[in-house]
Amino acid sequence: KELVFSGVQPTGNLHLGNYLGAIKRFVTMQETHDCIYCVVDMHAITVWQDPKELKRQIREVTAAFLAAGIDPKKHIVFNQSQVAQHAELAWVFNCIARMGWANRMTQFKEKAGKDRENASVGLFAYPMLMAADILVYRATHVPVGEDQKQHLELTRDIAQKFNNDFAESIAENGFGDAFFPITEPLIHGPATRVMSLRDGAKKMSKSDPSDYSRINLTDDADTIAQKVRKAKTDPEPLPSEVEGLKTRPEADNLVAIYAALTNTTPEEVLRDHGGSQFSGFKAALVDVAVTKLAPIADEMRRLMADPGHIDAVLADGSDRARVIAAQTMDAVKDIVGFVRSR
Ligand code: TYM
Expressed in angstroms and rounded, the spacing between residue 147 Cα and the centre of ligand 1 is 7
Query: Looking at residue 339, what DSSP letter applies?
Result: P
Average pLDDT over residues 41-54: 98
Among 199, 69, 175, CA closest to 212: 199
The domain that holds 262 is classified in CATH as: 1.10.240.10
| 198 occurs within a structural domain | no
Q: Flag whether 146 is in a domain.
A: yes
- 52 and 105 part of one domain: yes
Phi, then psi, of 157 in degrees rounded to 5: -65, -40
Residue 206 included in any domain: no
Q: Exposed (0-12), middle (13-18) or buried (19+): which is 77, by Cβ within 10 Å? A: buried
Report the nearest-CA residue for atom 18 of ligand 1: 18
Average pLDDT (197-213) is 95
Q: Are 281 and 321 in a shared domain?
A: no
Pick from 177, 173, 176: which is nearest to 337 by CA?
A: 173
pLDDT at 144 over 80: yes
CA dihedral sign, ordered 99, 102, 104, 107: negative
Does residue 10 lie in a domain region?
yes
Q: Name the burial class of residue 155, with classes exposed (0-12), middle (13-18) and buried (19+) by CB atoms within 10 angstroms of its CB.
A: buried
Could you report the per-residue pLDDT of 155-176, keeping only the tens digit for each? 999 999 999 999 999 999 999 9
User: pLDDT class for 12, splitting at 50, 70, 90?
Assistant: confident
Which pLDDT tens digit goes with each residue over 17-40?
999 999 999 999 999 999 999 999
Q: Is it the case that residue 85 has pLDDT exceeding 90?
A: yes
> Does the residue 202 lie in any domain?
no
**Judgement on whether residues 296 and 311 belong to the same structural domain of the protein:** no
> Both 97 and 63 in a single domain?
yes
140 and 7 within one domain: yes
**Are both 226 and 173 inside the same structural domain?**
no
Considering 149, 206, 232, 333, which one is annotated as catalytic? 206
Residues framing ligand 1 (Cβ under 6 A):
5-9, 17-18, 21-22, 40, 43, 130, 133-134, 142, 144-145, 147-148, 151, 191-194, 203-204
Cβ pair 119, 111 in contact under 8 A: yes
Asked whether residue 220 is domain-assigned, the answer is: yes
Q: How far from chain centre, in Å, is Cα 12? A: 14
Of the pLDDT bands very low, low, confident and very high (cuts 50, 70, 90), residue 100 is very high
Predicted confidence at residue 241, as pLDDT, reads 96
Per-residue model confidence (pLDDT) at position 127 = 98
Same domain, 169 and 142: yes
Measured in Å, residue 130 CA sits from the centre of ligand 1 at: 11
For residue 246, the CA-to-ligand 1 centroid distance in Å is: 25
* Digit-coded pLDDT (tens) for 49-79: 999 999 999 999 999 999 999 999 999 999 9
From ligand 1's centre to the CA of 104, what distance in Å? 18
Q: How many domains would you assign to the chain?
A: 2
Using CA positions, which residue lies closest to atom 29 of ligand 1?
A: 7
CA distance 162 to 159: 5
Mean pLDDT of the chain: 97
Return all residues near 287 (Cβ < 8 A) that are at least 6 apart.
Answer: none
Q: Kindly state the percentage of the chain with pLDDT values over 70.
A: 100
Judgement on whether residues 177 and 264 belong to the same structural domain of the protein = no
> Is 262 part of a structural domain of the chain?
yes
Residue 23, amino acid: I
- C-alpha to C-alpha distance for 293 and 257, rounded to whole angstroms: 12
Evaluate if residue 306 carries a pLDDT over 80: yes
State whether 235 and 116 are in the same domain: no
- Residue 66 maps to which CATH number? 3.40.50.620
Range of the domain at 171: 3-192+307-336
User: Can you give 34-90 as a three-state secondary structure string?
Assistant: EEEEEECHHHHCCCCCCHHHHHHHHHHHHHHHHHHCCCCCCCEEEEHHHCCHHHHHH
Cα separation values, 272 from 142, 255, 268, Å:
33, 11, 7
204 within some domain: no
121 and 63 together in one domain: yes
Does 342 have pLDDT greater than 80?
no
Mean pLDDT throughout 86-115? 96
The answer to whether residue 203 is catalytic is yes
Q: How confident is the model at residue 179 (pLDDT cuts 50, 70, 90)?
A: very high
Is 55 annotated as catalytic? no
| Same-domain pairing of 297 and 311 | no
The predicted model gives 188-192 an average pLDDT of 95
Could you tell which of 5, 6, 8, 23 is best to mutate to test the pocket of ligand 1, judged by most ligand atoms within 8 Å of the CB? 8
pLDDT band at 296, cuts 50/70/90?
Answer: very high
Cβ atoms 58, 79 nearer than 8 A: yes
Return the SS3 of 185. strand
Report DSSP letters for 104-169, one per residue: T-HHHHHHH-S-GGGS-HHHHHHHHHHHHHHHTTT--EEE--GGGHHHHHHHHHHHHHHHHHTHHH
Task: Based on the fold, state whether residues 178 and 63 are members of the same structural domain.
Answer: yes
149 labelled catalytic: no
Across the range 309-317, mean pLDDT stands at: 98
